Structure 1
């Protein structure tokens, strides 16, 4: 019986994020086709610059928020925390997802401000400010060609919204689709056929890499 073709990763986060994730799985070929474009939007820059303490659940908000100047920043996980430290914030690192970050915010007596995108997976019990939008992008020609093929395609789902957008873009795919979801909510948001799916044991890039490892168990040996 012929061996099944090696699956290919279809990475749909912004280019730099996708390349960083691909480096975690060097044995898998990959195609990058961002599904979202990050676009800064008008906001109260003076209020953001003067905020005593900030909450970062996305790295995109850090550059928009500007220099930390020693201000406190609650960060959702290690990647966001590392970028906030580089920007000069005094970081309190969270456990990797907004749900588990919430009790830390509720225990703080600081006046917190959460700069975030127009679309958020979870509302937090602090003041919020929209500082960027996440505009949908169509899959590129390489991604569509991949989905039209016969080899399995692994789709990491980093949020419920990206899962919904990808399900529409991948509708009618001829390739077997394998889903690796960052959360149960992201997997539930997928409205389309798939051959198999795994939920990350932790809601971060390492957890997704582990889920992909389970999907490909035996396929790459």
Structure 2
């Protein structure tokens, strides 16, 4: 366990609701005295796009934002199925609260595709997604013989780091920046380059893909989660500072 004196100032960049939830998990693990600054880098914007025509056997969700965009869309057909395949427990819980029958892969997009194939789905399926996605779940499933369409219902608009966030990065205390997605990592990396920091924060990243999105940041210190979950990311942070 990392001691309090070794712990950094945390800078959280997820959307506000997810950042506050993660902040609570950090406080629970490391204590109430740790410094946490929240500066969301991506703001969701629902698009109100029309749904594809046709009959679908199940829905696919790869984020809680996708579930929220689905609920907010007034053009949502009543004939859509109740069965929803979800990338992880948080997304599955959101889908369940929306009245859907959710099944969670408890991992990542590749595990979600594998789960759907294991369930013997024949499709067609409908993936509710955002404008910026990594990989193509719909294409992967279609190539595997399960016809799947994508339905883009939201965007994630890039936001500038706040003055408080920049102060953390330029401060004397070491900084830790947990990053959960390749896009948020890329947005953060571009802003960090513009700041010309004298020293880099440490980045706790959810996956190799997230870490690779920081490739332009020189001398970036990375620690990786063993699994694509918030709990595993916190474990990685604890191990990193315990070994420091």
Q: Deviations over 1:101-155 (max 9, x none)?
A: 1112233123210011100122102311110011110000100111111211111
CA contact (8 A) 2:47 2:154 kept: yes
- For 2:197, the equivalent position in structure 1 comes to 173
Report the secondary structure of 1:23's partner residue.
helix
Larger relative contact order, structure 1 or 2 (CA cutoff 8 Å, min sep 6) = 2
SS at match of 1:16: helix
- Number of residue-to-residue matches in the alignment: 216
Tell me the SS of whatever aligns to 1:65.
Answer: helix
Alignment partner of 1:44 out of 50, 58, 71: 50
Q: 1:98 aligns with which of 100, 105, 109?
A: 109
TM-score (norm. length: structure 2)? 0.81
SS at match of 2:26: coil
**1:183: which partner in 2?**
207
Unmatched tracts of structure 1, length 5 or more: none
Q: Comparing both structures, which one devotes a greater share of its residues to helix?
A: 2
Tell me which stretches of 4 or more aligned residues in structure 1 moved more than 4 Å.
45-48, 67-70
* Secondary structure, counterpart of 2:178 in structure 1: strand
Deviation at 1:186, TM superposition (A): 0.7
21-30 or 60-69: bigger deviation: 60-69
Q: How high is the TM-score relative to the length of structure 1?
A: 0.89
Separation in structure 2 between the aligned mates of residue 47 and residue 8 of structure 1, nearest angstrom:
49
2:233 corresponding residue in structure 1: 208
Residue segments in structure 2 that go unaligned for 5+ positions in a row: 142-147
* 1:114 aligned residue: 127
Classify the secondary structure of the residue corresponding to 1:216: helix
Deviation at 1:46, TM superposition (A): 7.3
Secondary structure of 1:192's aligned partner:
coil
Return 64-73 or 18-27, whichever deviates more: 64-73
Aligned mates of 1:201, 1:87 — CA distance in 2: 30
Name which of 61, 65, 74 aligns with 2:70.
65
Partner of 2:12: 11
Deviation of 1:175 (Å) = 4.4
Q: For residues 232 and 86 of structure 2, what CA distance do their matches in structure 1 show?
A: 18
- Residue 25 of structure 1: how far off its partner (Å): 1.0
CA contact (8 A) 2:59 2:81 kept: no
